[in-house]
């Protein structure tokens, strides 16, 4: 959601943003309906004022005059009711079109049509060179007895899986390590709902437009989240916070669900693109200060890159191009981790800043220090770690020729072992 006053004054900026982000929206249609709505709203307010003024004079009228005045009021009330009906219809249409508007990208976001045109900013670590033919995470998982995709599919259909024994323990180790990593950086752990109302999806910008990717529970008017960002960002919906309490820095660990609609035939093998996964997500709610948002964005990115360095995984950071940006994102940095079976990097993290895009939709404000009119907050989010994608990198980059897998030093206390060994008979 954008400030409609700003929209009226900057239609060309919005049209350009829509083109660059590959988002279809009719800015002119919105402005036309908005003008009609404001004109009609003015008529409604004028008629209400006339009726209020007329009511105040009834007591001073003679019975005959009052009868004439009441008849006139009855006509005006009928007219008002019809105008209010039209005004509500136009207001809803303005809202519908406004929800489709894109947030303009930051000046340093590269232009491009898709993720192939994202701009590399940095790399860390070196992709391993194996003196033997390395195995994929699927082959390793089968040999180690820790991944079972066929039985997962039998239970829940395609893009599902089972993690067994040390596979499940490794996932839990990474998640708990990530929670501890963020606790040291001052983030509050929150247990959040993963079934949410549509309002939370609209408020965070996933609806309208992302319905095909969400699992819906229509009977209860709820949907499963694809990220705990939805729940974390929505905590203070409709509230006005105190500036002294900002920023709010929180994380949640939760299961996440995505239908992956439109990805048939894409990444169908293995654990890269699945319907259910676990993620530790970081969300920050702060003041309406662009420079602060930029700095916080970099801090949040560093929380994730520091974690990947501790896990000793090679990765690159990319500045996501306009065509790969979401509707509300001002800028996004992705961390892509080296995965030998892909012969390249695969996305594991996304760090985004939204300015007040989500806060306006959620009606989330704060009172500035020293007084003044409440302002909409700025919101940001980033992955801390997501599984099973991180397991792909951990298994494939740390494999040995005999099929065993070394455990990074920071995870060894959580696992209680330095290596995952092949199961007997494998």
Which residues participate in catalysis according to the annotation?
258, 273, 347, 350, 389
Q: Is the peptide bond before 247 cis (omega within 30 degrees of 0)?
A: yes
- What would the two tokens of residue 375 be? 């302002």
Provide the pairing of β-strand 188-189 with 195-197.
Answer: unpaired
Query: What's the angle, vertex CA 8, arms to CA 18 and CA 354, rounded to 5?
Result: 50
Map tokens 């929505």 to a residue: 234
| Cα→Cα distances 412→273, 311, 406, 407, Å | 27, 11, 9, 6
Total residue count of the chain as it appears in this document:
426
Q: Smallest Cα–Cα separation from 223: which of 290, 351, 231, 111?
A: 231
Helix, strand or coil, per DSSP, at residue 405: strand
- What would the two tokens of residue 245 be? 């309490």
The Cα 324–Cα 200 span in angstroms is 23
State the Rg of the chain over Cα: 27
The Cα 51–Cα 45 span in angstroms is 10
Map tokens 């209400």 to a residue: 48
């Amino acid at each position: 959601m954008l400030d409609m006053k700003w929209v009226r004054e900057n239609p060309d900026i919005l049209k350009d943003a829509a083109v660059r982000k590959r988002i279809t929206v009719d800015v002119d249609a919105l402005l036309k309906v908005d003008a009609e709505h404001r004109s009609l709203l003015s008529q409604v307010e004028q008629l209400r004022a006339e009726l209020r003024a007329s009511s105040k004079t009834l007591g001073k009228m003679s019975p005959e005059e009052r009868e004439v005045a009441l008849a006139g009021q009855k006509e005006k009330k009928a007219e008002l009711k019809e105008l209010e009906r039209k005004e509500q219809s136009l207001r809803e249409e303005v809202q519908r079109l406004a929800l489709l508007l894109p947030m303009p990208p930051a000046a340093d976001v590269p232009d491009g049509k898709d993720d192939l045109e994202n701009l590399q900013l940095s790399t860390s670590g070196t992709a391993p060179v194996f003196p033997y033919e390395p195995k994929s995470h699927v082959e390793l998982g089968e040999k180690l007895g820790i991944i079972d995709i066929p039985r997962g599919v039998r239970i829940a259909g395609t893009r599902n899986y089972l993690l067994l024994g040390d596979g499940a323990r490794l996932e839990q180790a990474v998640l708990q390590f990530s929670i501890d990593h963020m606790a040291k950086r001052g983030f509050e752990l929150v247990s959040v709902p993963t079934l949410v109302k549509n309002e939370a999806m609209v408020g965070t910008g996933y609806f309208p437009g992302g319905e095909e990717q969400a699992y819906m529970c229509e009977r209860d008017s709820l949907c499963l989240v694809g990220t705990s960002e939805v729940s974390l960002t929505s905590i203070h919906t409709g509230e006005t916070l105190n500036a002294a309490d900002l920023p709010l820095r929180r994380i949640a660990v939760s299961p996440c669900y995505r239908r992956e609609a439109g990805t048939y035939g894409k990444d169908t093998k293995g654990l890269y693109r699945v319907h259910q996964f676990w993620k530790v997500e970081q969300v920050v709610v702060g003041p309406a200060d662009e420079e602060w948002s930029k700095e916080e964005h970099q801090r949040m990115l560093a929380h994730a890159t520091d974690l990947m360095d501790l896990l000793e995984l090679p990765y690159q950071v990319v500045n996501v191009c306009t065509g790969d940006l979401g509707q509300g994102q001002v800028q996004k940095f992705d961390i892509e981790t080296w995965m030998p079976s892909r012969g390249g990097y695969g996305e594991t993290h996304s760090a985004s800043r939204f300015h007040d895009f989500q806060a306006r939709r959620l009606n989330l404000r704060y009172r500035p220090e020293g007084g003044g009119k409440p302002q909409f907050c700025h919101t940001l989010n980033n992955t801390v770690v997501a599984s099973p994608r991180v397991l792909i990198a951990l298994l494939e980059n740390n494999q040995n020729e005999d099929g065993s897998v070394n455990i990074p030093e920071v995870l060894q206390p959580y696992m209680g072992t330095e290596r995952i060994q092949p199961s007997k008979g494998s």
